[in-house]
A and B are shown apart, each in its own frame.
Chain A
Amino acid sequence: MSAETSLIKARGARIELAQVRKEYADSVAVDDVSLVVEPGEFMTLLGPSGSGKTTTLNIIAGFTTATSGTLTVGGKQMQDLPPHRRDIGMVFQHYALFPHMTVAENVAFPLKQRKVPKARRAEMVEAALETVRLGGYGHRRPRELSGGQQQRVALARAVVYEPSVLLMDEPLGALDKKLRESLQLEIKRVHQEVGSTFVFVTHDQEEALVLSDRIAVFNDGGIQQVGTASELYEKPQSLFVAEFLGESSTVRGRVEPDGDDSCLRVGDRTVLAAGRLAKGSAAAVVVRPEHLRVQPVAEPVGPGVNALPARVTQEIYLGSGRKLELALPDGTVLLAREQADRLSGVRHGDEVTVVWDVERGVLLDDASGTTHPPTSGDRIPVAAAEKSGR
């Protein structure tokens, strides 16, 4: 980027969605979504397909009109403005480059709409192409470029007019893994250079972790939790977030009806965890694989540690270490990851004790336990398991 363009670097605008709702004839796509994206922030809307994240993005862009709720960008009411008057950049999953124009004409398109003088236009186009490392590609046609290059052109076209907000709808979805990873870094760099507010939609949680300042996790049309990657990973507020983001092991049970309110009864054992829930409610303790340890049954269990009997059902070599799949007596499957330099001696088929530090387990409300089909862990009635244990 030339010194001149970086001087007038676009300052990101604040985006505010308040009680936004989108109804279709027979379904609710977005259900009361409220979200604030800070100026210059990289916000990712993460969720499975059909969770409302793309609809939310389209509402910000103006391609979809919300049934109710308000949208402000940079303090301006936006919900009734047509897309072409919002001054928002957008990158689409399938690039949406104009096939009848050259790369340079594509990137110049938004500048033309803004009546930027011709000489200035050429300069800005070249600068934008430099930003995405495609300097000198201006005379080519989109179809002469690879998928990754095309998406970089789309990125250049979206940042060339320095919009205060840039929206990206699964822009890397159509690319292979290697390319995706290098483009993620590219996007992150462009975000830092341009300084616009980025809103990025993806269903790929790894991508979300790499790119975002904050992540809004969507499910069933609503936002489950908004936070930094580490907040979401370490302090998930719902079972959905815990299980959607990264790998996790979930132990389901019921909070002890009498006694400690952070003590979960799992079969004939109890498990302690950080957090507290109403006594007697269905709950789950979630532990990340790197916090689970496996030790021989004979080895004593230290204080401040949860321990459950398990059997090793799968051993997966990862290079940097290995992953163990462990089955509890009730069938629940747990994942444990061991670093290469700290491998335990256990093998496939061994009876072991799986242990973790109490503060590593997060106690969460298991609302799904009643509505979803029972997992294998729920099948054994707690009372019966208790009796047989004593």
Chain B
Amino acid sequence: MTALIEIASPASGSRPRKGAGGRWGWLLLPAVALLAVLFLVPLGLMAWRSVTEPVPGAGNYSWFLTSDVALATLVRTLTVGAAVTLVTLLLSYPYAYLMTMVGARARIWLTLLVLLPFWTSLMVRTFAWVVLLQDNGVVNQLLGTVGLGPLQLIRTPAGVVIGMSQVLMPFMVLPLYAVMSGIDRRLLDAAQGMGARPAIAFLRVFVPLSLPGVGAGALTVFITSLGFYVTPALLGSPDQALISQQIFTQVNGLLAWGRGGAMGVVLLAVTLVLLGLVGVVLRITRTRGGAR
């Protein structure tokens, strides 16, 4: 998780002072207690059940690793997560860039536009997408007027990606904006003064400097997307279920707590491994650059 925190605070060049935690550490107690009771204990229970139910042993894990359906679900979940990350990035980068270019008043509106869905219930938004994306919904009617479609949008992975991207976009826009607004525009002037065309100046100076924001946003969106349940359940097809839906089916439908737990543990492990890889890559790029 340190990788995430480091990416999220790129402007503050220095790390928090060490030792400052000693005297004020107790302020963390309520949060730690809450996490322990509501997160660590259930997590431990789940992990425990995954190796004890229905019989002690690694049976649940060997089932997962040999079940084509389970593995396909895991791969699908990661793929959808990657697609959602890519889509939100493509939508958010120009949006965040626009936010840094406009005046203060327009910026407030643009920020509100991002946050407004945030303040609306996830259920409401997802049902709205159901209405919009259905076979004779608004989107398909619009496509029809320009001679396209109708397309099968709902009950497809595409529909899931559309819905999840909309939900997760604020998590991409806000870190991007935070990093972009800290980039010194005179650097672009300087680059052009030295003979770089505006497009080159943007690619060679602005884009690299905005990467910490891309990293923070992409990581948040990707990890959050792995646990999505409501949106894929409503917009997706049952035979294209994501891992959270599978876990729900195992636990709620089949009462297979052990298998459900094993799937949860595998998802957690995969996420941690991916995070670790990102951290390693970041460290390598930094050391190569001789920074800090």
Q: Is the CB of B194 within 8 A of A139?
A: no
Please, which residues of chain B bring their CB within 8 A of the CB of A84?
A: 192-198, 201
Please, which residues of chain B bring their CB within 8 A of the CB of A92?
A: 186, 189-190
B208 to chain A, nearest CB (A): 5
Asked if A289 CB lies within 8 Å of chain B CBs, one says no
Q: Is the CB of B192 within 8 A of A141?
A: no
Q: Is the CB of B186 within 8 A of A96?
A: yes
A-B contact count (CB 8 A): 68
Q: Is the CB of A89 within 8 A of B290?
A: no
Q: Is the CB of B197 within 8 A of A96?
A: no
Q: Is the CB of B194 within 8 A of A113?
A: yes
Q: Is the CB of A102 within 8 A of B193?
A: no
Q: Is the CB of B187 within 8 A of A98?
A: yes
Q: Is the CB of A109 within 8 A of B208?
A: no
Q: Is the CB of B189 within 8 A of A96?
A: yes
Q: Is the CB of A90 within 8 A of B290?
A: no
Q: Is the CB of B195 within 8 A of A87?
A: yes
Instruction: Select the residue from B186, B198, B201 with max chain A CB neighbours within 10 A.
Output: B186
Asked if A148 CB lies within 8 Å of chain B CBs, one says no
Asked if B68 CB lies within 8 Å of chain A CBs, one says no
Given A90-B190, A92-B186, A96-B184: A113 in contact with B195 (beta carbons within 8 A) = yes
CA distance A83 to B184 in the complex (A): 18
Residue of B nearest to A84 (CB): B192
CA distance A63 to B192 in the complex (A): 9
Please, which residues of chain B bring their CB within 8 A of the CB of A157?
A: 194
Please, which residues of chain B bring their CB within 8 A of the CB of A89?
A: 193-194
0/1 per residue, B162-204, Cβ < 8 Å to A?
0000000000000000000000101101111111111011001
CA distance A158 to B193 in the complex (A): 9
Q: Is the CB of A61 within 8 A of B193?
A: yes
Instruction: Select the residue from A82, A88, A96, A114 with max chain B CB neighbours within 10 A.
Output: A96
Asked if A94 CB lies within 8 Å of chain B CBs, one says yes
The 3 A-B residue pairs with the shortest CB-CB distance in the complex, in nearest-first order: A110-B194, A113-B195, A96-B190
Sample of 4 more A-B contacts, CB < 8 Å, known A86-B193, A94-B186: A84-B198, A89-B193, A94-B184, A96-B190
- Please list the residues of chain B having a beta carbon within 8 angstroms of any beta carbon in chain A: 13, 184, 186-187, 189-198, 200-201, 204-205, 208-209, 289-291
Q: List 19 A-B contacts (CB under 8 A).
A: A63-B189, A82-B198, A83-B189, A84-B194, A84-B196, A84-B198, A84-B201, A89-B194, A90-B190, A92-B190, A96-B186, A96-B189, A98-B191, A100-B208, A109-B191, A109-B194, A109-B204, A113-B200, A139-B290
